[in-house]
Structure 1
Amino acid sequence: MKNLFEAETVDEVKERMARLRPDSAHQWGKMNAAQAMEHCARGMELALGDRRPPRLLIGRILGPMIKRKAFADGEPMRRNSPTVPGLAVSDDRELGKEQARLCGLIDRFAAAGPKGCTSHPHSFFGRLTPDEWSAWMYKHLDHHLRQFGV
């Protein structure tokens, strides 16, 4: 499974991000490209431990069962998947600024490696290993890049 501890995967994600334009049309969802980049940056902050939302009751109940399917190799995130509270973005954003912010967080995550991952549980899935965080962050980025056809 691709993950953000692999330099070639980081390069792939950044190259795809660079193809986004302010007027890139979304194929699903409500966010525009700039909002999606800020949303992804907030997701990276989860993996880095900068954001620490509480566990959701529904995640405590269903998280372990859904985690097996969500983390399956080769299975992309489904369209219109629910988001962690606090990660949705609805205000106006500047694409270039959001891309730069996200690139910086990706670089920080990749450079820190497994020791840089949070030990705080994911609000839905619960405890994740560094390898699971790295793979999930790739899947999340891939999901939103596919949302805009890149």
Structure 2
Amino acid sequence: MAANFLEPQANAALISRFFTLMPDTQRRWGTMTVGQMLVHCADQLRVSRGEKPLTSFRVPFFLKPALKWFFVTQLTEFKRNMKTLPELDAKARMTPPISFATDHATLIRLLNPASYPAGGIEHPLFGHLSAQEFGEITWKHLDHHLRQFGA
């Protein structure tokens, strides 16, 4: 079982890692700047909350359980240079960054566990994710990008 960003200790640990980032923090791999990464992570949460539509990729309902099974139970961590969706891609349709401070504050606000339903979410790629599943897959994604920037 992976860490879960919705649990208080894991959430506090993630947030403290985000506070180690600075506007000039350099990536270890990939192409995003640290500022773009903050927006990318915020956009992932916006997609999960239904605030940012995912229109570039549709998963037939009967394939969602398999995709969910892979990402939640089989994927232990996101690998370097994994391809992302256009809505989360800094070179495509990601929300434009504003400033490091603003984008950092936005992401920290979106990481508040109280802003997510206890019963889980309906995700456009995975279908229904319990709070445990959503918390774990989101933690894996955030941890991936924190490692990308050495945090």
Same fold (TM over 0.5): yes
C-alpha deviation, 1:23, in angstroms: 1.4
Aligned residue number for residue 21 of structure 2: 20
Aligned residue number for residue 122 of structure 1: 124
Q: 1:53 to 1:116 in 2, by over 3 A?
A: farther
Alpha-carbon distance in structure 2 between the residues aligned to 1:94 and 1:55: 26
Give the partner amino acid of 2:36.
Q
Alpha-carbon distance in structure 1 between the residues aligned to 2:75 and 2:55: 29
C-alpha deviation, 1:118, in angstroms: 3.1
Q: Structure 1: which 4+ aligned runs deviate by more than 6 Å?
A: none
Q: 1:134 to 1:55 in 2, by over 3 A?
A: farther
- The sequence identity of aligned pairs, in percent, is 30
Q: 1:133 to 1:48 in 2, by over 3 A?
A: same
Give the partner amino acid of 2:22.
R
Give the partner amino acid of 2:137.
W
Aligned residue number for residue 12 of structure 2: 11
C-alpha deviation, 1:100, in angstroms: 0.3
Question: Which structure features the higher share of helix residues?
Answer: 1
C-alpha deviation, 1:19, in angstroms: 0.6
Give the partner amino acid of 1:105.
L
Aligned residue number for residue 111 of structure 1: 114
Alpha-carbon distance in structure 2 between the residues aligned to 1:55 and 1:130: 25
**Contact conserved, 2:56 with 2:85, CA < 8 A, in 1?**
no
C-alpha deviation, 1:87, in angstroms: 1.3
C-alpha deviation, 1:46, in angstroms: 1.8
Q: 1:122 to 1:79 in 2, by over 3 A?
A: farther
Aligned residue number for residue 141 of structure 2: 140
Alpha-carbon distance in structure 2 between the residues aligned to 1:127 and 1:52: 16
Listed as ranges, the gaps of 5+ residues in structure 2 are none
SS at match of 2:73: coil
Give the partner amino acid of 1:122.
P
* Worse-matched range after superposition: 12-21 or 61-70: 61-70
What TM-score, normalized by structure 2, do the two folds share?
A: 0.80
Aligned residue number for residue 33 of structure 2: 32
Alpha-carbon distance in structure 1 between the residues aligned to 2:116 and 2:64: 25
> For this pair of structures, how many residues does the alignment match?
145
Q: 1:93 to 1:30 in 2, by over 3 A?
A: farther
